[in-house]
Amino acid sequence: MQIHSKSHTEAKPHKCPHCSKSFANASYLAQHLRIHLGIKPYHCSYCENSFRQLSHLQQHT
C-alpha cells in the first residue's frame, strides 16, 4: 500500500514514450507498456486466453 500511495504524492519521473502518462515507479511503467506493446505474458492453462497482469489471469480461473 505504501508503494501505491507514493504514486499519488511523489514526482512521476518514469514517462511512457507512447502516451502522456507518467509513473512514480519503474515497475508501473513496465506494466503500462504492455498495453502499447501488446505483451500478454500470463497464459491460461485451460484455454487460449492471455493476460497482461497476473491478477487478471487469477480472476479468470
Average pLDDT of the chain is 91
**Per-residue pLDDT at 61:** 87
Residue boundaries of the structural domains of the chain: 2-60
**How much is the pLDDT for 10?**
79
Cβ(18)–Cβ(33) below 8 Å: yes
pTM of this prediction?
A: 0.70
Residues with Cβ within 8 Å of 42's Cβ and at least 6 positions away in sequence, in order, are: 50, 51, 52, 53, 54, 56, 57
Share of the chain above pLDDT 70, in %: 85
Taking only the tens place, the pLDDT of each residue in 5-33 is 665 777 999 999 999 999 999 999 999 99
Candidates 1.10.3720.10, 3.90.226.10, 3.30.160.60, 3.40.50.620; correct CATH number of 2-60? 3.30.160.60
